[in-house]
């Protein structure tokens, strides 16, 4: 059996911890989609439906966020509702933002990159999301490349998704991934 990771800033929900200890399938889910992807109440409804779909597939869902500076793996229905209601008032949190959110005791909606990092800390090896970030249009001027791409190379997590977000420069993102 695999023992879930222990870290002083990491809170793993009991259901997720038990599933990991029994080597059951656990799927990490990001929380940025809840706060920054859709309006209330559709955001929370969608998050609950995604968790239900994971359960229907035989796995345990582990929605990930930072709440009060704590790295949370597996949110309660109330926590998802609260994130949904607060929406964009919750900071979009990527790799570079994690230490600041923890140090300040703030709430953060995790991007794919941040979700991968926290999931790996908990011992989760698979994550599902709608789409990953990539190379932004106009990169020649902005140098805006999502941390998701670097995290795919760094963190040992399988990311299942529909592909690259369509608002991005798909051709350059594919080239970057090569």
Task: Catalytic residue, from 140, 165, 175, 178: name it.
Answer: 165
User: Is 165 an active-site residue?
Assistant: yes
Dihedrals phi, psi of 24, to nearest 5 degrees: -85, 160
Instruction: Enter the tokens of residue 139.
Output: 């990169």
Is residue 45 part of the annotated active site? The answer reads no
Catalytic, out of 30, 51, 79, 151? 30
Residue 4 · residue 12 · CB < 8 Å: yes
Contacts of 86 (CB under 8 A, 6+ apart): 35, 107
CB 123 within 8 A of CB 6: no
Beta pairing class for 70-73 and 126-128:
unpaired
Q: How far is 74 from 37, CA to CA, in rounded Å?
A: 19
Helix axes 112-122, 147-154, angle to 10 degrees: 30
Q: Token pair 């998701």 is at which residue?
A: 148
Residues that are catalytic:
30, 165
């Amino acid at each position: 059996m695999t023992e879930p990771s222990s870290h002083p800033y990491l809170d793993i929900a009991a259901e997720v911890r038990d599933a990991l200890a029994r080597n059951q399938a656990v799927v990490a889910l990001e929380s940025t989609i809840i706060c920054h992807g859709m309006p209330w109440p559709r955001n929370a409804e969608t998050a609950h439906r995604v968790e239900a779909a994971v359960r229907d597939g035989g796995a345990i869902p582990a929605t990930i966020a930072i709440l009060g500076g704590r790295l949370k793996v597996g949110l309660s229905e109330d926590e998802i509702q609260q994130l949904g209601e607060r929406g964009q008032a919750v900071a979009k949190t990527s790799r570079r933002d994690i230490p600041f959110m923890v140090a300040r005791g703030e709430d953060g909606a995790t991007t794919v990159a941040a979700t991968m990092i926290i999931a790996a800390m908990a011992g989760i090896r698979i994550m599902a999301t709608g789409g990953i970030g990539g190379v932004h249009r106009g990169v020649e001027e902005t140098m805006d490349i999502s941390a998701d791409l670097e995290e795919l190379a760094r963190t040992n997590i399988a990311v299942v998704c529909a592909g690259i977000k369509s608002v991005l420069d798909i051709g350059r993102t594919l080239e970057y991934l090569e």
